[in-house]
Structure 1
Amino acid sequence: MTELLPIRPCLWFDGSAREAMTYYVDLFPNSRINSIVDYPDAALDEHFVGMSAKVLNGSFTLNGVDFVCLDGGPLFTFNEAISFVVSCKNQDEIDSYWSKLSHVPASEQCGWCKDRFGVSWQIIPENMADLTRRPRQIGVMMGQKKIVIAELENA
C-alpha cells in the first residue's frame, strides 16, 4: 500500500490569492506562506493575458493546517457549503477573530461569518458541544450572529 500525502484544501480566488494568504497568515498563530508561483508573463503566451502578478499556485500554513490556493478568475466563487472552523478558548478570542473575519453582516448566523474574500468561517467556542446540549441553548444559538458564551451558559 502506498503512503498517501496529506489532504489539503484549495481556495480559488478571483485575483486576491496573494492578499488573502498574507491576511490569513498575519491573523492566525503558527502560520506562514510556504511558496508562491506566479502566472507566466502574458507576453510569453496569450492564455495568460490579464494574469500578470496573479498566483498560479500558492501554498500556506494556518496554525499547522496546510492550504493551497490560486487566482482562477471569476468562474467559481465561495459559498457557505464549505467553511473553516476556528475553535476559540474564550469570548475574547471569539470577539477578536469575529472582528477580523466578519465582513458580510447578511451572512452572519450561529457563529458563521464571511470574510472580505468570500470565505466562510465558523468562530465558535472550543466547548460548543457542551454549550448546545439543551433545546433552550440551541434556540439561543440559532438566534445569535456572533456566539456569546454567557448567553448559552445562561440558557
Structure 2
Amino acid sequence: MNKITPFLWFDNNLEEAIEFYSSVFKSFEAGEIRRFSKAGPGPEGSVMTANFTINGQEFTGMNGGPLFKFTEAISFVIDCKTQDEVDYYWEKLSADGGQKVECGWLKDKFGLFWQVTPTILIEMLGDSDREKAARVMQAMMQMKKLDIKGLQDAYEG
C-alpha cells in the first residue's frame, strides 16, 4: 500500500522549523537532510529538503522560497488527553510570532496551522444527545484555546 506523506513548502527557513518542532514535540525524529549543490537553485550548502517525523507522522519539507504560503485550508490536529497537554502545545506552537486563532486553532511562526484538540471534545460532539453536543459546540465557538472543564460544563448543562 502506498503511504501519503505531507510535503511542506517553507520560505527558506526549513532548518529553523526543524529545530523549533524538535523542541516542541517530545516524539520528534529528524531524518535525511539534502542540501543544495553549486547547481542551486538555492545557496550552496543550504537545506533543500528534509524528512522528519512528529508523533509518528512523517513529513517532508522543502525550502521553496516566498512564492507559496500555508493557509487554514490545511491544518494538523494534535489530539490531547489532558488540559496540561492542550496548554503546552497551545503556548509552544503560538510562541515567537505565532497567532492564536479560535476554536483551538493557531498558526505557528512559520505560518503552519494546528488544531490543539482535547480528545474528549470529539466524543462530546458525537454524543447521541444532540442538545448536549450543541451546547459543547456553542461553548467551543466562544473559545480560542480549548478548555476541557468549560467544554465539560457545557456538556453537563
CA contact 2:121–2:151 (8 Å) conserved in 1: no
Q: Which runs of 5+ in 2 are unaligned?
A: 128-132
* Aligned equivalent of 2:71, options 71, 79, 86: 79
The residue type paired with residue 151 of structure 1 is G
Residue 149 of structure 1 aligns with which residue? 148
Structure 1 gap segments, 5+ residues each: none
Which AA in structure 2 matches 1:51? P
**Is 1:99 aligned to 2:99, yes or no?**
no
TM superposition shift of 1:13: 0.3
CA–CA distance in 2 between the matches of 1:20 and 1:52? 19
Q: Does 1:119 align with 2:125?
A: no
Mapped to 1, the partners of 2:53 and 2:17 lie a distance apart of 12
8 Å CA contact retained: 1:25, 1:61? no
* Residue pairs, 1:1-150, within 5 angstroms: 3-4=1-2, 6-41=3-38, 45=39, 47-48=40-41, 51-102=43-94, 103-105=98-100, 108-132=101-125, 133=127, 134-150=133-149
Q: 1:54 & 1:85 partners in 2: Cα distance?
A: 30
Contact 1:94 1:123 in 2 (8 A): yes
Aligned length: 145
The RMSD of aligned alpha carbons is 1.5
TM-score for the superposition, normalised by structure 1 = 0.87
Counterpart CA distance in 2 for 1:14 and 1:53 is: 16
Identity %: 41
Deviation at 1:27, TM superposition (A): 1.5
TM-score normalized by the length of structure 2: 0.86
Residue 53 (structure 1) shift: 4.0
Q: After TM superposition, give the deviation of residue 136 of structure 1 in Å.
A: 1.4
